[in-house]
Structure 1
Amino acid sequence: MKHLHFTLLLLAALLLAGCSTVPLTGRKQMLLVSDSEVLSSSLTQYNDYIKSAKKSANAAQTAMVVRVGKKIASATESYLRANGMASEIQNFAWEFNLIQDPQVNAFCMPGGKIVVYEGLMKLVSSDDELAVVVGHEVAHAVAKHSNERLSQQVMAQYGANILNSLVSDKSSAVQKVAGTVYGIGAQYGMMLPFSRKHESEADYMGLVFMTMAGYNPDVAVGFWQKMSAGSGGSVPEFMSTHPSDATRIADIRKELPGIKAKYRK
């Protein structure tokens, strides 16, 4: 029990020390891993990836990715400076790459390392549509979603340790059932919902950033409809790390009027 009490005290201390706020949305988040640790690890992973990836030979599309990326990054930094968060800019060393890969996808590493796959460009017909994707990825970086996910995993591990302490004197059958139930609860009760929350938050923040950069956020509805049409089958939303296509599009429609009224130049 002493070990359990110590674990609970440590957990409480971590929660108090790790409280942060997401820009734009104001959502409270728990960050238990330092920015320097996240950035160092992600940069290593990114460099390893870039060494093995094949950059696109399409000069026009590559220029498009870089052009849109830099414009949104500039608008994002302007927002941070104007809202008392200039110190956050030091965490970003923006880089935008188009990679030869047929996947309809893009990703962002902490620190602003953004990769777009050529497969995605088949659905992009304008700078505005590309800005929907790039804005979304920039938002993940600004909101520190990777750090939050790591912190959630740390918390899940602490939860597992506490559970083990509570059932340590029970039969092996009880311990096995408790572990299984906790695993399911952590996955569907915390990890996946938070992933969906991150995606929805990145959608909203990305629309704001692209609007600040002078792009037309109205194209987001049509773009995600194109993405939805090409996505094929999907798992139930409660088991997915992403909101359903219908949910995403409905949320975007709801947010657009307010975003345009507040952030359009």
Structure 2
Amino acid sequence: MKKLIGIVALSLLAAGCKTSPTGRTQIALYSPQKMNEMGVASFAQMKEQQAIEKDKNTNAYVRCIADKLISQLPTQYANQDWEVVVFKEDSANAFALPGGKIGVHTGLLKVAEDQHQLAAVMGHEVAHVIAEHANERVSQNSLLQFGLQASDVALQMGNVEYRQAIMQGLGIGAQVGVALPFSRSHESEADVIGLDLMAKAGFEPTGSVKLWENMNKLSGERPAEFLSTHPAPDTRMQTLNSKMPEAETLKRSAWQKGLKPECK
């Protein structure tokens, strides 16, 4: 039984091994087509359930930034027909989904004070898509469930005492030791990819740090970073600042090509 479980797990891992845009090894078990289907379905449901901002100026502003960022994506993504929707929602948030979908909450427009700061958030969210983070998360959850179920079967077959307590411990361990750090690695990677993306489009990369300064002012108490799905704002700003020289070089190159956004 243990050998069979091991063979199945190794087969799944081998089949799903890929490399992210930053060179990180990742597991992606689902096809791009399947992820696109899931993204399109989720976005359609959101549009049915949430109010949509109709103001033309607001939509034109958000679309302008999205178009500048999309033009710098790898060809397979740049050629997609991206749908951009502004939702009437007070939270300072945005998201992007496989299948060419971008959502921006009106609350974010109060925190992102200019086009550069909003480009930082939108670039970060699009980075999640091109790095296939959604695929990784779904794949990770599938593997965790498989591992926990296999462990439970093995414990039952061995008549192990305190099986329920052991399984609860394994579940907590998987969440803290695997799922949470995995999510933080996604956020950090999206910060770096998004920074490069906004710089290539001609936005001011320093807007990313300013955005997080604004976000930090709005945030209340947070759990310890090792128990959080996101890196602490200070950690994110340190990472962004460390990558700023390269981003500034990309921005200057974009300006030389005439790429200097004026989204208002």
TM-score by length of 1: 0.90
The residue aligned with 2:46 is: 49
- Taking only aligned residues, the RMSD between alpha carbons, in angstroms, comes to 1.7
Structure 1 Cα separation of the partners of residues 151 and 52 of structure 2: 47
* Structure 1, gaps ≥5 residues long: none
Residue deviations 1:220-249 (CA, integer Å, cap 9, x gap): 111110011001111111111100111111
Structure 2 Cα separation of the partners of residues 245 and 16 of structure 1: 35
Structure 2 Cα separation of the partners of residues 93 and 148 of structure 1: 23
The residue aligned with 1:200 is: 188
TM-score by length of 2: 0.90
Following superposition, the deviation at residue 262 of structure 1 comes to: 4.9
The residue aligned with 2:232 is: 244
Contact 1:167 1:174 in 2 (8 A): no
Q: Is residue 2:6 matched to residue 1:14? A: no
Give 3-state SS (helix, strand or coil) of 2:203's partner: coil
Give the total of aligned pairs.
Answer: 253
Give 3-state SS (helix, strand or coil) of 2:220's partner: coil
Structure 2 Cα separation of the partners of residues 111 and 251 of structure 1: 29
Structure 1 Cα separation of the partners of residues 38 and 129 of structure 2: 14
Q: Is residue 2:66 matched to residue 1:72? A: no
Contact 2:192 2:240 in 1 (8 A): yes
Percent of aligned pairs sharing the same letter:
35
* Structure 2, gaps ≥5 residues long: 254-264
Task: Give the letter for the 1:211 counterpart.
Answer: A
Q: How does 1:199-218 map to 2 (within 5 A)?
A: 199-218=187-206
The residue aligned with 2:212 is: 224
Following superposition, the deviation at residue 261 of structure 1 comes to: 2.9
The residue aligned with 2:131 is: 143
Q: Is residue 2:36 matched to residue 1:39? A: yes
User: 27, 30, 37: which is aligned to 2:27?
Assistant: 30
Residue deviations 1:46-89 (CA, integer Å, cap 9, x gap): 1111122221133222111100001101111xxx24xxxx4x66
Residue deviations 1:75-109 (CA, integer Å, cap 9, x gap): 11xxx24xxxx4x666x431111111111111111
Contact 2:92 2:106 in 1 (8 A): yes
Task: Give the letter for the 1:62 counterpart.
Answer: N
Task: Give the letter for the 1:74 counterpart.
Answer: S
Contact 2:201 2:251 in 1 (8 A): no
Describe the shift of the 1:262–1:130 C-alpha distance in structure 2 as closer, same or farther (beyond 3 A).
closer
Give 3-state SS (helix, strand or coil) of 2:72's partner: helix
